[in-house]
Amino acid sequence: MESYCFKGRSLAIAIAALTGLVFMQPRTGMAQQEEVSKAGLPAYTQYCGPCHGPDGKGNGPEAAKLRSRPTDLTQLRKMYKGDFPVWHLYAMIDGREEVRGHGPREMPIWGNEFKLQAGSSHVAESQTRGRIFELIYYIESLQEKESAPAK
């Protein structure tokens, strides 16, 4: 029994490490990034779209019910001066960071929802992290492309 638990933990650590390595690879031209991004669409549609809208601009059908307009997710790279805020988004999605401007937290903690859905298996934490990263990569795919300077 003890060796099974050890193997389960080892497997979960290995999956988490490999997931981290995949997401730390150079981002340009990665077919895997496109696959992960596309995998995030259903979660985005279900969990983010109602407030942030299908295009990410903060115009979802539930947006009018909030105290302040949801962030235009297409402008995150611009807001962070060219850097995409992966870890900031991760902390917001998994619930470690409050969403300022909303007053009491109106944005649900989707990380908790993903954990509940994953259950209590030995790989549940890795599955939860993977779903959060799929969502982040999808949001990154929504970033407004910078237009080329006029000549």
- The whole-number pLDDT of residue 61 equals 94
The predicted pLDDT at position 99 comes to 57
Q: What is the pLDDT of residue 20?
A: 57
DSSP string, 5-64: HHHHHHHHHHHHHHHHHHHHS--TT-HHHHHHHHHTHHHIIIIIHHHH-TTSSS--TTGG
pLDDT given at position 109: 61
Mean pLDDT in consecutive groups of 10 residues from the start of the chain, 151 residues: 52 59 54 77 93 95 89 95 93 73 52 70 80 92 75 55
Considering the entire predicted model, what is its pTM?
Answer: 0.66
